[in-house]
Amino acid sequence: QLLAIDLDPVRLLLADHNLRVAGGGALTTFEQADWTHFPFPPSVEAAFADPGRRVEGRRVFTLHETEPALPAILAVQQRLPNLGVKVMPGVADNEIPEYAEVEFISEGGTCKEGVLWFGALRTGAARSATLVDGNTVHTLTSDAVAPPVPVTAPRAFLWEPDACVIRATLVAQLAHLLGASQIDAQIAYLSSDSLTATPFARVWPILDHAPFNLKELNRRLRAMEARVEAVKKRGSPIEPESFRKRLKSHPKGRPVTVFITRHHDQPWMILCGEELR
């Protein structure tokens, strides 16, 4: 049995419709009320809350501005320990209660939301990254700080971690799973000598790399008769689409993706072949 509570009657009607379409309407009771003061019956074992992130027509970006705000939510959690709370993916780390587990969820390469888990809904991990791929769900977790990741020059392959991995600060954990190093200590690009199957990162073969220089980059692109498929960047001020127009691209040449990043805090360029899927 489900109990759905909201102050807004329109939202309750929408929830009723969606649940009926999904086949769960008959199992749900709807209440128009303030759930932060609702007298939950003893039969309620757990709850999931989705605080409003628009207040008076404007989007808010901190948990102290949501409706209800974090203090009111934590007061409910004292009465109902097993609680899940949907939060914005950009929630500040210092707003996350120490006793909450935080999960970041992505779909299609975009981190869509975060969830705070309390009580028995915790899995035991401090942070987790969950990737939704159609009907398949993949989760990477960590309950401890990972050992430092070595920084090396680009190797045979370049890895771009999924957005949920980056947001959950699990790049180091992923690097150790892949046997990879970082190209720069502050940049979420990884590099390895071999391939390891993972849903948590995209990967490209590295063809060439060097300190960044536009003239030299175009010389190398011409030498390999490259067709620039895309420009990607981390740690660089360039705007990829406008920068791409400055590159010498062969219309029928070898497909190449150009990465502009940093290596040991120096501007760096990496030329990669087609993404490996």
What is the mean pLDDT, run by run of 10 residues, along the chain of 277 residues? 92 92 82 95 94 88 95 96 97 95 96 98 94 95 88 99 97 97 98 98 99 98 97 98 96 97 98 97
What's the confidence (pLDDT) of residue 23? 81
CA distance 27 to 19: 9
Q: What is the C-alpha separation between 203 and 156, in angstroms, rounded?
A: 10
Task: Specify the pLDDT at position 26.
Answer: 75
| pTM score | 0.91
What's the gap between Cα 179 and its chain centre? Answer: 21
Domain ranges of the chain: 1-33, 39-122, 157-272
Q: What is the CATH number of domain 39-122?
A: 3.40.50.150
Q: How far apart are the first and last CA of the chain?
A: 42
CB within 8 A of 121, min separation 6: which ones? 46, 82, 83, 84, 101
Distance, CA of 19 to CA of 272 (rounded, Å): 47
Contact 137, 96 (CB under 8 A): no
Q: Which pLDDT score is estimated for 264?
A: 97
